[in-house]
Structure 1
Amino acid sequence: MKQGAQGSAGTGIPQDDPVRARVPAQQRAASSQQLDGELDGERCGPRGAARGEHTHSETPSPALGFPRPACPPAHPRPVVQRASVRGQILDALRTALVSGELRPGVLYSAPVLGERFGVSATPVREAMQQLAMEGAVEVVPNRGFRVVERGARELAELAEVRALIEVPVMQRLARTVPAERWAELRPLAEATVRAAGSGCRATYADADRVFHRALLALAGNEQLVAIAEDLHRRAQWPLVGGPASRGRADLLADAAEHVALLDALCAGEPEAVQALVRKHFAGAA
């Protein structure tokens, strides 16, 4: 299939779009069906490409779409269900959304994305349906999926809703959770600082969500955690017409607020917690 340049009215990836998965060298040598490229540069660490879809089982691809600092050591992999491939594709597409590789307003077709990832269109279509449920893309009948265009107003609304939900919870936790429990989360706050230092928005987005999820988990309300994480993920998608990603300095400033928030929680200062959370949400993008 030829990959011609296409804009928002096309049915596939623009020619210069780098959304594609890497295949380890040994797989490239053993396969006559090679991918025609890979994600540009060394942006967020190595990615693998899943093999073609099977009806019952499938050999999983190595960490497709999930930025990692290093590849895991090679070892035999167990046979897994097709859902595992679908999950890897979903992770890859979410990473591409956060990094700006899937661009707002652009139409993408499942068969073309499947060819880029080295799988059939089925797991891509299933992953895209999930993203449609989350509000990241919209279905264009008989053509594919268009990435939703978001503006500054939507981002501000998300920040307001997150604050309405999380600020009262965080204030209550500041009064009731002992300092030693908060201290246990220090490694997660420090992990966001390291992720910010990488300059990779997708890597930072993962660490950011892990930290916030751990904070709210202390409330013991699984529904709260699920709703808050959905809002958080939406807030991480780039704006239409905006930069594909914030710079390293912006990410480091955001991560520093995690450390300051944890300090206020350890000190049991609800008012400081309120101010920090509202400031953090307002600046997130």
Structure 2
Amino acid sequence: MKVVEDVTVEPRKWATPISINPSRRPSLKEDSEQLIRRLLVSGDMRPGQLYSANSLASQLGISNSPVREAMLSLSAEGLLEPVRNRGFRVVEMTPKDRQEVYDLRRLIEVEAVRRAASRHLTKDEANTLTELAHHALDLLPDTPGGDLIPYLDADNDFHCYLVGLIGNTRWSDMVRILRDQSRINGAYRHLGHQERDRASAEEHIDIAHAVIRGDAVLAADLMVRHLDYARPQS
């Protein structure tokens, strides 16, 4: 595989610019991580290619340290691979990798939803879950071929909040990492069929309603069907 050093990424492709506040370093690192994650999801940072923290920081217009910290965090999640004295290589997810991630998500996300529906949600939790479901639907592109990244961000917010309702931090972290691994290398570029995408987004609302009503069986069944969009493409 050919490795290209200091590959340039194009900020104009980023769907929703993030306001980076250099006066608060934790936010700077977190925002840098979010920006890089979006580049990985969109496929603008390509698998097998090498990116230096210095070069990427220069393009972002911020200091090297928070970018390097962000890239190290993403390496720990299996999205980047540190290459000694050279930078970070984008991990390439093979078909086997993607199938493994999908199988694990089927196991742990469905069970998490079942458990969330088995407990009584507070009014605030129910409202937040419903709002996140509708927000994702609202962010679907209005035209074919539109930018799906804002929707994918909102989709992730919904799923992570839903799993977070069971109150198990390690479980939530595992789901978040698996979801990120399933999304890198432009894995969702096969999306873009408006009717199918809208149907998938509307499933968030159905899942939220089932969880709020406490119907654990229905919520789990709906999540199984919903996760079909993450099934690896042959």
Correspondence for 1:160? 103
CA distance in structure 2 between the partners assigned to 1:276 and 1:255 by the alignment? 12
CA distance in structure 1 between the partners assigned to 2:18 and 2:157 by the alignment? 21
129-138 vs 268-277, which moves further = 268-277
Question: Deviation above 4 Å: which 4+ runs of structure 1?
Answer: 178-183, 242-245
Q: Deviations over 1:159-192 (max 9, x none)?
A: 2212222323322333443696774221110001
Unaligned runs of 5+ in 1: 1-6, 21-38, 51-59, 62-78
Equivalent residue of 1:157, what SS?
helix
Correspondence for 2:82? 139
- Shift in alpha-carbon separation, 1:175–1:120, aligned structure 2, 3 A: closer
Aligned residues of 2:101 and 2:182 also touching (Cα < 8 A): yes
TM-aligned CA deviation for residue 267 of structure 1: 4.3
Task: Identify which of 29, 44, 47 aligns with 1:104.
Answer: 47
Task: Identify which of 191, 195, 199 aligns with 2:135.
Answer: 191
Task: Identify which of 116, 120, 139 aligns with 1:173.
Answer: 116
**1:130 matches 2:130:** no
CA distance in structure 2 between the partners assigned to 1:178 and 1:127 by the alignment? 34
TM-score normalized with structure 1 length: 0.68
Equivalent position amino acid for 1:190 in 2: H
Q: Deviations over 1:102-148 (max 9, x none)?
A: 11111112222122112343332222111111111111222211101
- Shift in alpha-carbon separation, 1:92–1:225, aligned structure 2, 3 A: same
Correspondence for 2:198? 252
TM-aligned CA deviation for residue 258 of structure 1: 0.8
**1:93 matches 2:36:** yes
Say which one has the larger Rg: 1
**1:12 matches 2:6:** yes
Q: Deviations over 1:76-112 (max 9, x none)?
A: xxx33x3432222212111111111111111112222
Aligned residues of 1:171 and 1:271 also touching (Cα < 8 A): yes
Correspondence for 1:218? 165
CA distance in structure 2 between the partners assigned to 1:257 and 1:238 by the alignment? 25
Matched residues, number: 226
RMSD of equivalent CA atoms:
2.8
Equivalent residue of 1:172, what SS?
helix
CA distance in structure 1 between the partners assigned to 2:126 and 2:18 by the alignment? 33
TM-score normalized with structure 2 length: 0.82
Aligned residues of 1:139 and 1:145 also touching (Cα < 8 A): yes
CA distance in structure 2 between the partners assigned to 1:213 and 1:45 by the alignment? 20
The percent of aligned pairs where both chains have the same amino acid is: 31
CA distance in structure 2 between the partners assigned to 1:243 and 1:88 by the alignment? 22
Aligned residues of 1:104 and 1:148 also touching (Cα < 8 A): yes
Unaligned runs of 5+ in 2: none
